[in-house]
Structure 1
């Protein structure tokens, strides 16, 4: 069965997205910079509404736009926001931390993963900043550390998702049953069938993944 994850900005679009067939929400603010963490009030309302309507919520934990290299103060913010989301009832969190040379920041990730224990965990599109030849080792590390899902465009931001399908298929095949590769970024209700057929996935992600009237 195909699961459509709607990437939503704030609460306002959630009722329409669920009515159009989304069964999971990635809850963000500021999508123009790739998504940042929403307020606790937005979290609470979103979790309640989704759970009342048989949908789950993945909450992005990201204090700002820009790169994915976070300093100690930003990590403190992220730890606080993650605990808040957990206490308010999120089903999972969407996280990703890199070093200056675009490797997984293992120390930062360990801190967040420890706090996220018991939640679903998605490593977000920070993954696409990792060198292609190093992404397979990154998958291994994420599997070993309990991450269930990687959200990836399969290439640099701004590229056509359809052009990235061959690399995405390599990632899907390498991950196998160990971890879910969640394709996103340019997938819509108009082209999702083509993406699903090529990749053989059963989860897809996007801001237009369902047809909202």
Structure 2
């Protein structure tokens, strides 16, 4: 089982690694569900941590419908991730009717090469996240999809998560999130069939 800890500081990242996290998702401003961290923080985390670091590329809070200018900002975040030595980047883009923004997702996934991409929880805004998997598995470079199955928690979304894993056909890893805690991570893995899980408190409270 791979446990990915979601953090917004170097201190939290180091604590998560010490407590058994296998990978870090590095963000700024988790109150906004995670934005692009500073280049300085990226460099520190990537150089000082013994585990892989994925960095968020998200220019603002709110919805996931991004303008051409914001897509350019995401390219800058990807450039910084590469320069910092990140192991991958995390982003998600939707159209105004909450479908996958295939054009810009393809563009950014290609731009991110050779770094693998995690398409983040934007997918949970879709009416049918399983349809999102269908689209994303046709886009080269998308390695993971972060999801709680369209629900507030992974436990509530477990049925959809199982369908998403089935639709992924092993081509994309479904990375399960949504109130995944150190106390329930084993249960959520068992119920969903997921081998990679993600959470703010997946290895306990980082304080």
Tell me whether the two structures share a fold, i.e. TM-score over 0.5.
Answer: yes
Equivalent in the alignment of 1:63 = 59
Q: Which of 187, 194, 197 is the aligned partner of 2:180?
A: 187
Taking structure 1 as the reference length, the TM-score comes to 0.92
How well do the aligned residues superpose, as a CA RMSD in angstroms? 1.3
Taking structure 2 as the reference length, the TM-score comes to 0.94
Aligned length: 205
Q: Are 2:19 and 1:26 equivalent residues in the alignment?
A: no
SS at match of 1:13: helix
Q: Which of 199, 203, 208 is the aligned partner of 2:201?
A: 208
Equivalent in the alignment of 2:95 = 99
Equivalent in the alignment of 1:46 = 45
Contact 1:61 1:94 in 2 (8 A): yes
Q: 1:165 deviation in Å?
A: 1.1
Contact 1:61 1:82 in 2 (8 A): yes
For residues 144-159 of structure 1, the aligned pairs below 5 Å read 144-146=138-140, 147-156=142-151, 159=152
Gaps of at least 5 residues in structure 2 are none
SS at match of 2:179: coil
Gaps of at least 5 residues in structure 1 are none
Q: Which of 164, 169, 172 is the aligned partner of 1:176?
A: 169
1:129-180 deviations in whole A, cap 9, x for unaligned?
Answer: 1111xx3332122112121110001124xx3331211111111122131111
Q: 4+ runs of 1 displaced by more than 3 Å?
A: none
Q: 1:212 deviation in Å?
A: 4.7
1:84-108 deviations in whole A, cap 9, x for unaligned?
Answer: 1112211100011111001111221
Q: Which moved more, 1:28-37 or 1:141-150?
A: 141-150
